[in-house]
Amino acid sequence: MWGVRKTIEKALNHSIMKPHDQIVPEIEGSQTLDSLQLNQLEQSFLQWVEKAASRKDIRLSRQRIYFVFLLIRYTGAKLNEVLTLKPLEDIDTDRHCITFCVHEHEGKGNSRQVQIPEAVSQILRSLLDEPQFKEIAGKMLNVDPGFVRRKFYERSTSCGFPSRLGGPEMIRKARAVELLRNKMPLPAVQRLLGHSTPNLTSAYAAFSEEELRRATKFHIDREFSRKTSACNSFFGKIKAIHMGDIQARIELTTLGGEVVQAIITHGSMERLGLDVGKLVTAEIKAPWIILMKQEDEPQCSAENRFIGVIERIARGKINSEYSIRLSDGTEICSITGTHGNRYSSLREGDRVWALFNCYAVVLHVE
């Protein structure tokens, strides 16, 4: 079986040629737990810890395993990366991030920061605040990898899942799939999992480490809350501003290298404090996305034109919804009326162009 790294690198190069259900064939083809199942497994670990409330030694042992599970579940880190953490040094519960690195004596080797949801950060903090747990976590978790795997397998079986699906490596893979399905661009998933990224787009490489961290945080936070009715979001950096007499045209470069164009008034631009290099979110409501099935780029007035693959179609009595996966893994949604639907000939797996004009784009800043 291919590892996550090869799978995602292959997806990065070839995802535009196939539906998203096949973007990560080695992960999903071998089956992984979905988000609901991962949450069920998480609850199983928590209940397992709570059952040992009266036995401090057993509770402490179980807390360590639960702690390891949470780190792999929400960071996609490798088991050995987690077990060599120095939790009190490497976990920043105020900034909600974890630094994975190679500790060498007093120094540190190469490292990367991984953003985690605030709610998970609070759970980790509550564990680290317990005196006994804090004492054992002061240096390293110091748990036998074989013991960890056995406990992971047991929890998976207790939930009615095949034991192998609950192993640390499979949880890591499940996290990769979950992030992709939650619309995090493939390059960002690749970076979060700690893969080398020689094939990243020049646009992605132009983002600083701090900007990449904020971009990842945007997608991680969006897993837990959604504050807008817009189905389509692009996170990126302003690459150019073209001033007109009354309005300005804004060009936004996404993590995947796509360029989104928006038109806003000078007043709105000043109110938002927009300037070249600023990180912003572009949102487009689904009814404003038009689909066109053809190989060549459409010659039309829509400034924003993206090629993708139809991943899913939901046809209802009143409206029909089309989910399109772009080459960088971003998912966008188009909604149209079902009656007299001009898209009736479209099928899942079709390559289509998703079109919207610059006036349909709403910009947000943090």
pLDDT at 55: 84
Nearest to 72 by CA among 137, 154, 148, 160: 148
pLDDT at 325: 87
Share of the chain above pLDDT 70, in %: 81
pLDDT at 83: 93
Give residue 155's pLDDT band: very low, low, confident or very high (50, 70, 90).
very high
Q: What is the mean pLDDT of residues 255-260?
A: 83
Q: What is the mean pLDDT of residues 239-257?
A: 90
pLDDT at 191: 79
Q: What is the mean pLDDT of residues 39-66?
A: 89
pLDDT at 209: 67
Give residue 62's pLDDT band: very low, low, confident or very high (50, 70, 90).
very high
Instruction: Give the end-to-end CA distance of the chain in Å, rounded to a whole number.
Output: 41
Q: What is the mean pLDDT of residues 134-145?
A: 80
Q: Which residue segments constitute the domains of the chain, with CATH numbers given?
A: 4-222 (1.10.443.10), 232-284 (2.40.50.100), 286-357 (2.40.50.100)
pLDDT at 260: 95
Q: What is the mean pLDDT of residues 255-282?
A: 90
Return the structure tokens found at 354: 């998703």
pLDDT at 214: 74
Q: 156-200: per-residue pLDDT in tens?
A: 999 999 999 999 999 999 998 888 777 777 777 887 888 765 454
pLDDT at 264: 94
Q: 297-342: per-residue pLDDT in tens?
A: 999 999 999 999 999 999 888 889 999 988 777 888 999 887 766 7
- Whether pLDDT at 14 is above 90: no
Nearest to 282 by CA among 312, 307, 304, 309: 304
C-alpha 249/C-alpha 259 separation (Å) is: 12
pLDDT at 79: 95
Return the structure tokens found at 102: 């190679």
Give the chain's mean pLDDT: 81
C-alpha 275/C-alpha 365 separation (Å) is: 11
Tell me, yes or no, if the pTM score tops 0.85. no
